[in-house]
Amino acid sequence: MISRRLSGCIIGALPRIMRRVHAPAGHPPPTHARGRCEMQSRFSPTRKLARSLAVLVLLLPLHVASAEGPDGARIVNGLTTHDLPTTAVLLYDFSGDADDAIGYCSGTLIGCETVLTAAHCVEDDLTASRNFVFLQNVGTVSVTSITMHPSYMDANFPIADVAVLKLGSLVTGVDPTEINQIDPSSVIPGASGTIAGYGITLGSNNDFGIKRFGRVETVNCNGSVPAGAGNEEVICWNYETPVGPPGDDSNTCNGDSGGPLFMDLGAGQVVAGTTSGGFVD
């Protein structure tokens, strides 16, 4: 794992950061869940600066998406949004008090009671009662169990960096985003995707906790990703300078770990990956 800093963000597995979560102006976080949810299973850098990884898992099969760009907790060169409602923020409090819990990573609602995130976000403490999930249109929800990919502890970055959180109550008001069930190698170079998360925008910034998104374009991963991971396991994108306008040429940063890579592979938007980390190419 590369741990040096570059262009304001830490390169390597994205570190967790502990910050308060902020709702965008005019949109205070609700205090309870509301709305609807289908009651059925939804499982079924130019100069290259760094490469950030997104990991996709279909419960047992593991597929990873990676992108070149500085890692960190927020979306770099991104835009704030009230959309993408399944993008979640993970909260933690050692005493298990939701009112005192602070954010550290991102995630994606993939089922009425299920959130997908990165294993490195939760590996330090798998105590479910100390963890919570916040969704902008829902509020704060408790966690009843945390399960890391069974191969994670024996794997090298970025392999198997995936975890699933089971929630303490059904989420209503937000339709979960399905995870990709197509062979990840079908995500060809040049495909467009959207990254999202609650992370910071620069390594020195104090702006974690605001949901942001940005567009990325996939590139070939083979021969350039740590641990020998290739297109069968990861999806990659370059983060290069100079960048385009905000919302384009974006990248993940600290706190975006565990957040989604959304793609439309022909049947509507799916979660094609989960942010894991990055490296210098």
Its sign, for the CA torsion 231, 233, 239, 245, is: positive
Most confident of 59-63, 198-202, 259-263: 259-263
Which tokens belong to 112? 């009425």
* Global pTM value: 0.70
pLDDT band at 98 (very low <50, low <70, confident <90, very high): very high
| Helix/strand/coil for 236 | strand
Tell me what percent of the residues of the chain surpass a pLDDT of 90: 29
Is the omega angle on the peptide bond into residue 242 within 30 degrees of 0, that is, cis?
A: yes
pLDDT band at 99 (very low <50, low <70, confident <90, very high): very high
**Region 247-266 average pLDDT:** 71
Angle (CA) 156 157 162, round 5°: 105
Question: Would you list the domain boundaries of the chain?
Answer: 8-20+45-279
Comparing 226 with 11, the larger pLDDT belongs to 226
At residue 279, the pLDDT reads 63
Most confident of 24-38, 48-62, 107-121, 175-189: 107-121
Q: Give the integer Cα–Cα distance in Å for 97 and 44.
A: 33
Angle (CA) 7 9 14, round 5°: 150
Q: Give the integer Cα–Cα distance in Å for 166 and 169.
A: 9
Tell me what percent of the residues of the chain surpass a pLDDT of 70: 56
pLDDT band at 198 (very low <50, low <70, confident <90, very high): confident
Q: What's the CATH code, domain 8-20+45-279?
A: 2.40.10.10
Q: Which of 30-34, 110-114, 194-198 has the lowest mean pLDDT?
A: 30-34
At residue 212, the pLDDT reads 75
At residue 64, the pLDDT reads 39
- Cα–Cα nearest to 13, from 54, 42, 61, 44: 54
Mean pLDDT taken over the chain: 68
At residue 39, the pLDDT reads 32
Q: Over the stretch 70-92, which tens digit does the pLDDT of each residue have?
A: 333 334 444 455 668 999 999 99
- Cα–Cα nearest to 123, from 271, 235, 258, 20: 258
Q: Over the stretch 130-153, which tens digit does the pLDDT of each residue have?
A: 999 999 889 999 999 999 999 888
SS3 letters across 120-181 = HHHCCCCCHHHEEEEECCCEEEEEEEEEECCCHHHCCCCCCCCEEEEECCCCCCCCCCCECC
pLDDT band at 190 (very low <50, low <70, confident <90, very high): confident
Comparing 66 with 199, the larger pLDDT belongs to 199
